[in-house]
Amino acid sequence: MPKYGMDSRLMGLLISSDYSTLPSNEFAVTQTSMGKRAAEIIYKALSEESFKVNFNATVYEITNELIRIAAHLMFGSELQFLHVKYAVEGDLCSLDIGIKKCPLCEYVKSDYSVCNLLLGFFGRLVELFLSRFAEIKIDSKEESCIASGSDQCNFVVKWRTPIGLPPPRQHEIEIRIDDEALEKKLREIENLDIYKKAVAYARQRRSSGGP
């Protein structure tokens, strides 16, 4: 396992297996749902007392750091960002997330974007965080994917500033990663059916001489 994060190669093998056997709409729904569930577990860990982070930013700009930290906790160094850019135009806010190395679509060749697990993960993280301040609706999509020939996986997460939410202002937030508490949360993820299935599938691929 890389420092922080799960063995995302296992997840990549599982995703490639599901992609080859499930209809595209069922594949997308299943993967997105798994990503949302993983986001909920990681976000809960970050929200607990033993997880604190230190930096200054507006409540919206904090989403940049949240995405990077949570993704590293979940996927470790196997997932590499090209950029995470926050933008605002009027009351429309967005995060543009570029991935230059994506282990989740490493074994897939497709005519369309397949990183639905990451799509659900990123969108749910932003939704959980901003919902602490006001009711909010998130719209997210994957605009390009390495599996379909692009040089990067690119995601856009959008939301409108809710009426009544105070304007962005500087906040001091502290995040301290507690190794023992983190390991406990990673064990929780490893007990999910999705991860157990990934481990079993990866072992089967290895024994049969697969990648």
Model confidence over 112-154: pLDDT tens digits? Answer: 899 999 999 999 999 988 887 777 889 999 999 999 999 999 9
pLDDT of 88: 79
Backbone dihedral angles phi then psi of residue 44, each to the nearest 5 degrees: -60, -40
Instruction: Kindly state the average pLDDT of the residues 1-23.
Output: 69
Strand-by-strand arrangement of the 139-144 sheet: 80-89, 92-101, 153-160, 139-144
- Domains of the chain, residue spans: 8-207
Query: Crossing angle, helix 8-21 and helix 193-207, to 10 degrees?
Result: 90
Under CATH, which number does the domain 8-207 receive? 3.30.1380.20
- In this structure, are residues 6 and 38 in contact, taking their beta carbons and an 8 Å threshold? no
Among candidate residues 98, 99, 107, the one with its CA nearest the CA of residue 9? 107
Quick one: pLDDT band at residue 173, thresholds 50, 70, 90? very low
Q: Which two tokens stand for residue 201?
A: 């599938």
| Distance (Å, whole) CA 202 – CA 199 | 5
Instruction: Kindly state the average pLDDT of the residues 197-206.
Output: 64
